[in-house]
Structure 1
């Protein structure tokens, strides 16, 4: 006899959708007003739910804030997974082929451009993340440990491998940090960058131009081995 679907499946899906709506509204509110300035009542209204339902899902404003940081991390990881996994696997094998490392570095930066420059969600994340960078709060450690530090170190290791340089080189880490920092121009600095470039929007053509520029920088970094040899 065929089994009936679980009775709570629809309830679970609805609950998950409600959480996502609240998180999306909260990320925007926290980006605009910070933890102290944002109101859970306003967040609930923006999400189209009542405040008791927000409290049911998240318990407190502090807990909601941390859940927003976790949601940003999860969504970012999903967008970067296809480029991150082969890079991690390559580096786990030890110092390998320089050309392969160079190609993987290009792919990683391409994915970063795709996620941060082209992705509309990144514009919502930017304000939240920028606040934690400028005025570290409860989410700083989470973002540092799961995003900033490992992302920079992965990029630095690929730079070292592509150069065939010292695995412990501090200079490669600095180069990685500055390379990734270029993306800030199109996240928290998006409006300024568009005005400077005279772009009314950032569509496929503009993303392609950014990608070409980042690729040139990657190629220059990999070619510049004189400082570390």
Structure 2
């Protein structure tokens, strides 16, 4: 009985923690670190205010936990493909292989940034943090942005059939930033494309655009 009660208590604690992080993504993504309040986050998570201090030590601890949650989910969604691409790059692949990995990675990033789940605010959190330089800026920069740009830049160089150059990083930044625009300019993008949401047909059109961009490198 004691073991069962301990397990139930652990599961309840983990569920509480997850609910607070989900609410943190929402409020920090919309209002930033300074604008969001722990009281509003606690209310949205359906917990008492002291629960934030208990689980995270306070507002900044929760903010950093949100960033770590984003990184862990990002790695879970993109890590396998990124590892495959890095392994291929270590074996000096040809242009066609690099082009294929570049297309696949950009399409995967598009789906991460566009966040088809309306309840997923991770992309908003990352975009605001990288722009406003909050407490998690360095962690997200080192764990997310820098390695992502480096990988895309190396694939761009491979497509061009030469060693990497500074211009490849610029090209990588342009490619990734163009995908981010579908998040930061989500409503405008949907209006321009005549869509209500990003559905399968929309992704098909965007995937075709990525194919054209990569083919033009």
TM-score (norm 1): 0.87
Q: Which residue matches 1:226?
A: none
What is the correspondence of 1:1-229 to structure 2 with a 5 Å cutoff? 8-93=6-91, 95-117=92-114, 119-120=116-117, 124-167=121-164, 169-221=165-217
Structure 1 residues 92, 122: closer, same or farther in 2, change over 3 A?
Answer: farther
| Deviation of 1:134 (Å) | 2.2
CA deviation profile, 1:165-202 (whole Å, cap 9, x unmatched): 123x1111111110111112211211111122221111
The SS at the match of 2:102 is: helix
Partner Cα separation in structure 2 for residue 215 and residue 14 of structure 1? 45
Where do 4+ consecutive residues of structure 1 move more than 4 Å?
A: 4-7
**Paired positions, count:** 216
Task: Say whether the 8 Å CA contact 2:71–2:140 is kept in structure 1.
Answer: yes
Structure 1 residues 92, 10: closer, same or farther in 2, change over 3 A?
Answer: farther
CA deviation profile, 1:82-129 (whole Å, cap 9, x unmatched): 321210111233x22221111111111121122222542696123322
| Deviation of 1:7 (Å) | 5.0
Partner Cα separation in structure 1 for residue 93 and residue 124 of structure 2? 38
Unaligned runs of 5+ in 2: none
Structure 1 residues 98, 121: closer, same or farther in 2, change over 3 A?
Answer: farther
Partner Cα separation in structure 1 for residue 118 and residue 12 of structure 2? 22
CA deviation profile, 1:50-104 (whole Å, cap 9, x unmatched): 11122110111011111111111111221112321210111233x2222111111
Task: Say whether the 8 Å CA contact 1:115–1:122 is kept in structure 2.
Answer: no
Unaligned runs of 5+ in 1: 222-229
Q: Which residue matches 1:224?
A: none
TM-score (norm 2): 0.92
